[in-house]
Amino acid sequence: MGGNKARQLEFYLGDALDHGAETIITTGAVQSNHVRICAAACGRLGLGCEVQLEDRVRDMPPEYHLSGSPLLSRLHGAVVHHYPEGEDEHAADSALEDIAARVRAKGGKPYVIHLGPEHPPLGALGYVDAATELLDQAQHVDLNIDAIVLPSGSASTHLGMLAGLELLGADIPVYGICIRRDAKSQKQRVALRSEKLCALLDGKVAMKRSRIFLDDAYLGPGYGKTTPEMFEAVSAGAALEGLLLDPIYSGKCFAGLIGMVRSGAFAADADVVFLHTGGVPALLGYASLFERALDSETGSEYAAGRPGPAGTR
């Protein structure tokens, strides 16, 4: 259920323990996969955890705020704070520092995992390692990977995979499906964070902007907002493959993959890796929205395992 966030937190929490931290403080959307897995990992490590839930997705049904990830974060023992904004990363990070100051005032030792792109992307190191694992596994099963498709949000997974492949000399294109901002803005973010990741890697890689491929055609109204393509992708994955995807990241990314296949972006015999980034509990926060979608004609077709548009399954 943790997906890519478990890999990223290995590096943040390792650094926190090295610095003698006692309480981890972080931020994310209400249904944040990162926040939930951070709370779980802190419980396992005996660390306190205070999380800030940002109001990024407006006009959502009640279960969005009560079920799925926010419920599990509380079960994992996190102290939950609410932040009324959703699009101001600098203000959200500033609010984290306020929480950290209160922890220090009580004699605690906080460690803040920031959101803004100006901070070192320690979590991206998890996907530098993942690139090595992926190519090792592919070699073991004699698979020549033609492309990788993954969600691009905070960009840690995206840039980590790019850097890992660069270190290995692997010229595999990585396609990022935008889940929070448009392609132009996201490319700037990936490029900025790539520079900081290169510094963490002692300059061993120098990623080119020409290697950053992004597609915002499946973003819809914005982060966490539903789209017909996402409903189709999640329903198809569940009904036809037993594969569960979340509505925020992997669902939109899988919709992007389906769209790329339908448009002929890949050769018919291409071997394409789809990176599932976890976050499945968020499905429960969208329960009534999925009920409505499944009652529609397209949702019913996929729930029954029938072919989708153009005969694509």
Residues recognised as catalytic:
32
**Cα–Cα dist 180/149, whole Å:** 16
Count of residues making up the chain: 313
**Cα–Cα dist 84/92, whole Å:** 9
> What 3-state DSSP class applies to 100?
helix
Tokens of 119: 């901070």
**Cα–Cα dist 11/173, whole Å:** 26
Q: Indicate the burial class of 113 (C-beta count within 10 angstroms; 0-12, 13-18, 19 or more).
A: buried
* CA nearest to 122, candidates 73, 193, 39, 190: 193
Amino acid at 251: G
